[in-house]
Structure 1
Amino acid sequence: MKEVEHLGSGIWAIDSGYLRPRMDAIHLIVQDGRAALVESGTTHSLPRVLAALAEIGIAPECVDWLLLTHVHLDHAGGAGALLQVLPNAKLVVHPRGARHMIEPSKLWAGTLAVYGEAFAREAYGELVPAPTGRVVEATDGLVIDLAGRRIEVLDAPGHARHHVCYFDTQSRGWFTGDAFGLSYRETDADARAFVFPATTPVQFDPAAMHATIDAMMARAPGSMVLTHYSRVTDLPRLAADLHRLIDAFVAIAEAAENVADELQLGWIRSGLEALLRREAVEQGWGVQGDAAVAVYACDLDLNAQGLQIWLKSRH
């Protein structure tokens, strides 16, 4: 895939540049000369977004909406900076996340706790507050009008309590953030995509994640457009795989419940890696063994942390 890829139906995928190529996508929806961005990427993504708009022929003032699925910084860290150069855009974000976009100090503190200051600053840059008057709360059922194109909001917990997904009625595709897992293009084989859950800290809820997947599938969508990374189809198979793997993740965490605290995270991480290696073989991924682990290395670390926090939160 190119850094800017046309997916059809007036939708483009833009590589945000986060960590490595084809890890983190921003999507642009264009309708009759007006546009919406789904996700902002990080503050470092700003030049890529502006270059993509110029390449596609959309002036910054023609972007009406910046739609965030949730406020984890690979999805939302650049939102405030983007609003400074998109003069007419409104920022749409879950009510639980809106205050963190307006005053990001607690969000930044949480990021430092997970990643450490050196990595956080290198990966995400400085957070810019969003102006209160330009923030719209993405309540369940909200309809966003993009030049007559209807985009509907679904409250979508499971990955995080402040997560929403957006249903584009024209393409019949969901913009899923992390609610439909991770599907990196390196793993594709013969145009067949594969998926792996995202249980990033700190609000993983397996029952809610199952319910969110079912709610999206109930609309009989034609595609899921993932932040990590972009569009997938063959959705009944992928949804079934996600349900199965979420349960497998939970089983790995529960098996570590009585492991000593200092060993527990490594135990869970090793279990996830073993599962990923088996999945790559059994499903015939386009990369195998250490190469498959390398693609998901960051996600394995974060998934293990999220599962450990979930395990402890049950008590």
Structure 2
Amino acid sequence: DLKPAGLEGFISSYIVAGEKAVIVEPGPSSTAGRLLSALEELSIPPAKVAYILVTHIHVDHAGASGFLLDELPEAKLAVFHRASKHMVDPAKLWESTKQVLGERVEVYGPYKPVPPGRILEVREGDSISAGSFKLEVIESPGHAYHHICYLMPSMKALFAGDAVGVRLPKADATVPTTPPPFRLDIELKTLDKLASLAPEHLCYTHFGAYPNAVEMILGYRRQLELWYSTVREMLGREASLDDMLGELERRDPVLSRFLESYPQEFIRQLIYASLTGMIWYAVREQQ
């Protein structure tokens, strides 16, 4: 639990250790120190960490990468090949991040450039070996065009990033994370693909690991279809985001649990971003 700004149960980072160690989802730079402390508590020397794996380059998932690599001399950053340039020179990425997050960006902190020689570009079908275990790269566009997941066959565990939504423990429920530019058609294909892998454990970045992975993936697929059909229906009535949120509370009972369990401003911004992505897709679908 990386606890950005003290917020518990929001960002998970996973340390997988055997002969070598791998960090899956390093999180934002503001919590890099907490992750390094976790390695020390687990008696994992910095030189034992072979890879840092990110599912995508959004700041809450990848922002700590450059800072951690300074402390982990043998590690390389595994990132989708079409997004690696933004980790080498994150200036444009950081500017767009500040525009999207506004003042909230201070919770996460900045990026730090990653030397090209410390990057491992990956794509569908690649396998990352860390001695006694390996992780397979699964392209999973939808939340972002460059999103990938990692499957660990030996544990039947899927590190899902944001591909299967946000599941926060205080609410014990999942909501979509579909910021623009969002493609529902691509996301649904991704979810079918992930379910076909038959993982047993689903490891969310937001937040935690759960059994019954396939059931949760298919449940999220149904939820996405419900939310999108509601957004498209209400878009025809020229409804506001607040109106859409109210209607979704009536149609999807888990949403109320989210709104009751977390700070209103925090959770509403998350949901409004998802609704905006669905609106973005609906408008283009109608063109």
User: Counterpart of 1:275?
Assistant: 248
Q: 1:119 aligns with which of 104, 108, 113?
A: 104
Maintained 8 Å contact 1:252/1:272 = no
User: Counterpart of 2:260?
Assistant: 290
User: Counterpart of 2:21?
Assistant: 35
| 1:203 shift after superposition | 2.7
Please give the alpha-carbon distance, in whole angstroms, between the structure 2 residues aligned to 1:47 and 1:239: 32
Please give the alpha-carbon distance, in whole angstroms, between the structure 2 residues aligned to 1:38 and 1:288: 26
Normalised by the size of structure 1, how large is the TM-score?
0.83
User: Counterpart of 1:227?
Assistant: 205
Pick closer, same or farther for the CA change 1:288–1:156 going to 2, 3 Å. Answer: closer
Aligned: 1:244 with 2:222 = yes
Aligned residue identity for 1:109: E
| 1:18 shift after superposition | 5.6
**1:172-183 alignment to 2 at 5 Å?**
172-183=156-167
Q: 1:75 aligns with which of 61, 70, 76?
A: 61
Give the 3-state SS of the residue equivalent to 1:107 in structure 2.
helix
Aligned residue identity for 1:36: V
Give the 3-state SS of the residue equivalent to 2:142 in structure 1.
coil
Q: 2:148 aligns with which of 147, 164, 167?
A: 164
Give the 3-state SS of the residue equivalent to 1:92 in structure 2.
strand
Aligned residue identity for 1:20: L
Maintained 8 Å contact 1:195/1:241 = no
| 1:293 shift after superposition | 7.7
Aligned: 1:24 with 2:11 = yes
Q: 1:306 aligns with which of 265, 277, 280?
A: 277
Give CA-to-partner distance per residue, 1:212-259, whole Å, 9 cap, x none.
111111121111100000112223432232111111222233234456
| 1:296 shift after superposition | 3.4
| 1:195 shift after superposition | 2.2
Q: Which shows bigger deviation, 99-108 or 14-23?
A: 14-23
Aligned residue identity for 2:91: S
Aligned: 1:134 with 2:113 = no
Normalised by the size of structure 2, how large is the TM-score?
0.90
User: Counterpart of 1:9?
Assistant: none
Please give the alpha-carbon distance, in whole angstroms, between the structure 1 residues aligned to 2:95 and 2:236: 30
Maintained 8 Å contact 1:195/1:238 = no
| 1:19 shift after superposition | 6.5
Please give the alpha-carbon distance, in whole angstroms, between the structure 2 residues aligned to 1:128 and 1:172: 33
Maintained 8 Å contact 1:18/1:41 = no
Maintained 8 Å contact 2:184/2:281 = no
| 1:44 shift after superposition | 0.6
Q: Which shows bigger deviation, 289-298 or 74-83?
A: 289-298
The alignment of Structure 1 onto Structure 2 pairs a total of residues equal to 285
Aligned residue identity for 1:226: Y
Alignment RMSD, CA only? Answer: 2.3
Q: 1:253 aligns with which of 223, 231, 255?
A: 231
User: Counterpart of 1:6?
Assistant: none
Q: Give the number of the structure with larger relative contact order, counting CA–CA contacts within 8 Å between residues 6 or more apart.
A: 2
Segments of 5+ residues of structure 2 without an aligned counterpart are none
Aligned residue identity for 2:194: M
